[in-house]
Structure 1
Amino acid sequence: MNGGNLFPGPVSEKLKSNENTEDEKTLAEDDQNDKNSGAMNHRFEKVSVNLERGVGKKFGLGIVLVHQRILVCKVENDSVVDGVLKVGDQILQVNKKVVSNKAECRKRLMTCLKDKGCVEVIILRPKTSDAVTMIEQEIQLSKQPSVENLKAPSKSG
């Protein structure tokens, strides 16, 4: 026996071989990204809101996809979302499910409201006036026609 140690060889050698794994590198990068994004954290807040189906109320929500983010671009007065969501809110989750495109987001919102009468939405809301301005500008730019749409149609012979 080697002093009651069940594993042959020094333990430190086995631990040393696991240093700097890809997971550790990724975690280190994530930590650095968190430090770099400190400026974003004070400008936005994560909020949980609940939407409830209203009798005779329209849904009243307009959304756009900007840089892989689902942003609220329109909230109609006297609608289900009025007073709950605001223009500029980024929709992250609908009933604990991450949504990544407009169609999926809208379908999930409508289905949950229809089936359950209410839906929990996790949003990222701008807190500062400069954050609100930045998001509003992104929404406006997303509504502008793309360069491809501005090209004159080619003549067919």
Structure 2
Amino acid sequence: MEDEEFISAATQTDPITSSDDDDDDDDENIEELQLTMDTVGDLNGIDYHLEYEEITLKRSKNGKRLGLTLCYGNNDEYDTDIFVSEIEKGSIADIDGRIKVGDQILQVNRLTVNSRKEAITQFSMDKNEITILLSRPRLVGLKFKHVFEKYFAFFIFKP
């Protein structure tokens, strides 16, 4: 496998409010992500098989957020892997409990998402329900969340 360069940015699946402060020093608060589903199995010889799950979440009428933060697996604007890097406590996804940190998002609303732009477009749709097709490694004797957190850093903004 040839060397790949990985660049990522985090995206929350809900609208983000921002202050008027536009600070260009935010780069100090960014870490690097190096993750693809192809590299997961190479971690210290961990044995895994992919499992797939389709999840439908109902958006809240009281304004409760889906609560997913996404990260992206490489620098190709049109073809990238999209992962769940964080689930906000008390959010719709957290209360539902089926989506896990480290899940790869393959489809949103039955449309394949291969780019950050496609993911943002689908998650921003004004629909009462959102259907997400996920894949995740089924690890023998380990929880993927622990592997994901231990072996990978994220391009996540840290306030």
| TM superposition shift of 1:125 | 1.8
Tell whether 2:147 aligns with 1:142.
Answer: no
Q: Which has the higher contact order (CA 8 A, sep 6+)?
A: 2
Matches within 5 A, 1:44-59: 44-56=50-62, 57-59=64-66
Do 1:66 and 1:142's aligned partners in 2 also have CA atoms closer than 8 Å?
no
Percent identical among aligned pairs is 26
The amino acid that maps onto 2:107 is: Q
Q: Which has the larger radius of gyration?
A: 1
Residues 49-58 or 124-133, more deviating: 124-133
**Residue aligned with 1:142, SS:** coil
What residue in structure 2 maps to residue 65 of structure 1?
A: 72
Do 1:92 and 1:122's aligned partners in 2 also have CA atoms closer than 8 Å?
yes
What residue in structure 2 maps to residue 105 of structure 1?
A: 119
Aligned CA RMSD, in angstroms, stands at 2.8
CA distance, structure 2, for counterparts of residue 144 and residue 118 of structure 1: 27
> Aligned pair count?
104
**Residue aligned with 2:92, SS:** coil
Unaligned runs of 5+ in 2: 1-40, 75-79
Do 2:55 and 2:131's aligned partners in 1 also have CA atoms closer than 8 Å?
yes
The amino acid that maps onto 2:130 is: V
Cα displacement string for residues 7-35 of structure 1 (whole angstroms, at most 9, x for unaligned residues): xxxxxxxxxxxxxxxxxxxxxxxxxxxxx
| TM superposition shift of 1:144 | 7.9
Structure 1 residues 99 and 42: CA distance shift in structure 2, 3 A: same
2:107 counterpart (86, 93, 99): 93
Matches within 5 A, 1:1-157: 42-56=48-62, 57-67=64-74, 68-82=80-94, 83-111=97-125, 114-115=126-127, 117-128=128-139, 129=142, 131-137=144-150, 140-143=152-155
What residue in structure 1 maps to residue 29 of structure 2?
A: none
| TM superposition shift of 1:46 | 1.0
More helix by share: 1
Cα displacement string for residues 134-157 of structure 1 (whole angstroms, at most 9, x for unaligned residues): 43346x423389xxxxxxxxxxxx
The amino acid that maps onto 2:54 is: S
| TM superposition shift of 1:69 | 1.0
Residues 84-93 or 121-130, more deviating: 121-130
What residue in structure 1 maps to residue 31 of structure 2?
A: none
| TM superposition shift of 1:101 | 1.8
TM-score under structure 2 normalisation? 0.54
